[in-house]
A = this chain, B = another copy of it.
Amino acid sequence: MGVTSDRVEYVCRYGGNGTTTSGVNVSIAAEVTMEIHSVCLPPKESTFQKLKHRLSEIFFPDDPLYRFKDQTWCKKLVLGLQFLFPILQWGSHYDLNLFKSDVVSGLTIASLAIPQGSSRHVAVGPVSIASLVMGTMLSEKVSPVQHPTLYLKLAFTATFFAGLFQASLGFLRLGLVIDFLSKATLVGFMAGAAIIVSLQQLKGLLGIVHFTTKMQLIPVLTSVFHHTKEWSWETIVMGFSFLLLLLTTRHISMKKPKLFWISAAAPLTSVILSTLLVFLIKSKVHGISIIGHLQKGLNPTSTNMLYFNGQYLALAIKTGIVTGILSLTEGIAVGRTFASLKNYQVDGNKEMMAIGLMNMASSCTSCYVTTGSFSRSAVNYNAGAQTAVSNIVLAGTVLVTLLFLMPLFYYTPNVILVAIIITAVIGLIDYKAAYKLWKVDKLDFLACICSFFGVLFISVPLGLGIAVGVSVVKILLHVTRPNTLVLGNIPATQIYQSLNRYKEASRVPSFLILAIESPIYFANSTYLQERLLRWVQEEEERIKANHESTLKCIIIDMTSVTAIDTSGIDMVCELKKMLEKRSLVLVLVNPVGSVMEKMHRSNFLGTNSLFLTVGEAVADISASWKPQP
């Protein structure tokens, strides 16, 4: 405790007016014995202990082994098995009621899943952003029409790398990587991706045969208006009718959440209706392209399709990493949303490993990158799903469809799938969220806009990169140019608050009380030094102009200085020296643990220059100025 000011005790008298809500003025004049408290160093820890603590906060913030603490070996084994196979947790008390709920919800999602997944023409899945991105990134380099096998190979390989990347992130407990994709970035990104995908669908909606492989706004629109001769009016009429139908059902469901099943059932109904329609008019109308023969049976294995050398390997890896990050972001966000609804917690890193392993397995069974889908999970939740059994029901239904019902889709027109995709992606344009960003935080809105235009006009990974860059620059800017405040005392209290914000607060004569609202780092130490000196200069000029008592002491409230580095410490030392030259005393108030420790280690601390509260500093220093009796 030798590093701090001596404990001084004296009597401080104050009087003030307190106003009660009833309007009666109560005058108080209390005599309080004020003790000056010393500022403590945090408990001593070795470098190794600190490193351990720091690393565990970085990599194990959720303390995953928490439940294993203080348990017997046998219990630990059971918990470990439950950790690996969650069915052991809920399996023991599964009953008929839970099963009923699971069957209903499983069939409900199946009605959503089957029309989405049954066409080889839907290169990008309709909901997941990761699917959209995989489609755009791959088809810019390889045409799915001209080189369908290569395209498939690349999709499986990218899926494999996505899975590998996700599983490694989870295994290395680097879940924090996805924290850098802020919600603001994703709002802009999803809107941009939705528009790009909708534009791509113009090909199917207008019945155009020759179309650009590029994804940006300008080449796509050019392509659309260069091929007006290929527009097919039958396709257009049919497409827009069903699009209108689907958008209407979506609108109804949004207005009345209870009618959610209308929009949930609409895709399957549309598929059935349009298939029937085409079947009936097939002899008269020829302009509508249909799905045609679909292969029956299960997904074939695709291990032989993985592609580990050759010129497109870099593309596959890049696509894999980008889609991997995106599918993680979506999957984990979905997991967290439903966990918070039901008040349990998900382990982000465990979730990553699960999604990653799933994608690695997918890539060997002719599937491309998948993740937890928000809309499907919402339907599942709303339909009353209780456990993973509902997913088993879904899988069974899809299996039956794949094995026996595929020929029924022979006459399904491609344009209906286009309409379903457009309806789904339009839902991703969350203009309300964008408006809220604008209202609350202009810089967040900027990140949103950057990612939107970046995706729309440049490219998907670059747009995403720009948005992350804007978010990071925002953090750095806050650190580089932190806020400084002049504090004043709220009469009759020990509270010191911003003079600018609290009109009742008043300056304390002979003192200038400043607060720094950020860590002090190399990136801001010069700025802070200049800014603090400017405050001192302005205060001195103000005092001179108003003929007040001269400035004697600068108090800096360090409560919000949550960290300091060596440049910061040098700055404080420098500032102290400079103020001493002007016969001003510099006093620090309430440095946090780590700051206190570093100042102690660099031998900065003089006696009587540290206090626990601003009130104590003011009281003690003004007492020391009084002539000694």
Contact = CB atoms under 8 A, between A and B. Distances in A.
Contacts of A54: 481
Contacts of A143: none
A526 B179 contact: yes
B472 A476 contact: yes
Contacts of A574: 340
Nearest to A62: B530
A475 interface: yes
Given A20-B9, A523-B475, A562-B518, A598 B441 contact: yes
Interface stretch (A26-34, A192-200, A281-289): A26-34
Q: Which 7 A-B pairs have the closest CB atoms?
A: A182-B522, A517-B562, A18-B35, A560-B560, A9-B20, A42-B501, A440-B602
Most buried by B among A180, A530, A566, A613: A566
A612 B498 CA distance: 12
A53 B624 CA distance: 39
Interface of A: 6-9, 18-21, 26, 28, 30-33, 35, 37, 40-43, 47, 51, 54, 57-58, 61-63, 176, 179-185, 336, 340, 343, 345, 348, 436-437, 439-444, 471-472, 474-483, 490, 492-495, 497-498, 500-503, 517-519, 521-527, 530-531, 533-534, 559-560, 562-563, 565-567, 569-570, 574, 577-578, 581-582, 592-594, 598, 601-602, 612-613
Contacts of A593: 483, 498, 500-501
Nearest to A521: B475
Nearest to A339: B578
Nearest to A343: B581
Contacts of A531: 61
A346 to B, nearest CB: 10
B345 A533 contact: yes
29 contacts: A9-B18, A28-B33, A30-B30, A30-B32, A32-B32, A35-B492, A35-B493, A47-B442, A58-B480, A61-B530, A62-B530, A62-B534, A180-B522, A180-B523, A181-B522, A182-B567, A183-B570, A343-B582, A345-B530, A437-B566, A440-B601, A441-B598, A475-B476, A482-B562, A483-B593, A495-B613, A498-B593, A500-B593, A560-B562
Contact of A481 (B47, B58, B182, B525): B58
B497 A494 contact: no
B527 A481 contact: no
Contacts of A483: 562, 592-594
Contacts of A569: 440
Given A30-B32, A475-B521, 16 more contacts: A8-B21, A28-B33, A37-B493, A40-B501, A58-B477, A58-B481, A179-B525, A182-B521, A183-B566, A440-B566, A441-B566, A475-B519, A483-B594, A495-B612, A501-B593, A559-B560
Nearest to A41: B501
A86 to B, nearest CB: 19
A481 B57 contact: yes
B480 A519 contact: no
Contacts of A560: 559-560, 562, 592
Contacts of A482: 562
Most buried by B among A54, A176, A612: A176
Contacts of A479: 475
A175 to B, nearest CB: 9
A475 to B, nearest CB: 6
A605 to B, nearest CB: 13
B518 A179 contact: no
A51 B492 CA distance: 36
Contacts of A437: 566
B602 A436 contact: yes
B18 A33 contact: yes
Contacts of A43: 500-501
A58 B483 CA distance: 11
A41 B340 CA distance: 31
A8 B215 CA distance: 62
A180 B472 CA distance: 14
